[in-house]
Amino acid sequence: MATRRALPLRYYGDPVLRKKADPAPAVTAEVKDLALAMFETMYREKGVGLAAPQVGVSTRVFVVDVEDEGVRVKRAFVNPVITSREGTVIGEEGCLSIPGFREDVKRAASIVVEATDEEGTRFSLPAEGIVARAIQHEIDHLDGILFIDRLSPIRRKLLEARLKRFRAPEPSVPSVREGSSRPSL
């Protein structure tokens, strides 16, 4: 398999991150190439998930490579839809597009997602734990929602000053992750 070139990330403040992504009309060679390049970008940035808007493409595609309790999900999701949500759980999240910020976010404890993979095969995937969290986080990106939008109004207000000072890392300098050494979504 040929090595794909990693793509540049888009960061907090970039309008593409706030736009609802368009459905992919079909799984084409371009969509497959995008997914493969997104995997390369995600690995370069040490993340576990990455949505197309995070690399400047407003298309409903994301990739994950995440493991929880022995269950590993490594695949692309094209035009994903969550068909079932159950329970709630609070857990820490970070985001490759907002490096240095980690916060507790409430999400569904378990979900079922339907999508098409990069080969054009439809699938349905039940998920829980970090796998469910990653999928929900990436689908939010496709809807123009950032994890900080899921915080309480009081917590967002407290973060507002830090967010106003946020500056994207320079492209020639590796991005620095403050706080946790855990991967971001």
Active-site entry in 30, 86, 138, 160:
138
Q: Which residues contact 90 (CB under 8 A, 6 or more apart)?
A: 104, 105, 106, 107
> How far apart are the C-alpha atoms of 54 and 63, rounded to whole Å?
11
Residue with tokens 């040490």: 46
- Residue 116 phi, psi dihedral angles, 5° rounding: -120, 140
The tokens for 52 are 């197309």
Q: 138 an active-site residue?
A: yes
Residue with tokens 């590993």: 72
The tokens for 43 are 């690995």
List, in sequence order, the alpha helices (H) in 29-165.
Answer: 29-44, 129-142, 153-165
How would you label 103-130 residue by residue, b for 16+ Cβ within 10 Å and e otherwise?
Answer: bebebbbbbbbebbebeeeeeebebbbb
Q: Which residues are 18's β-sheet partners?
A: none
Catalytic residues: 138
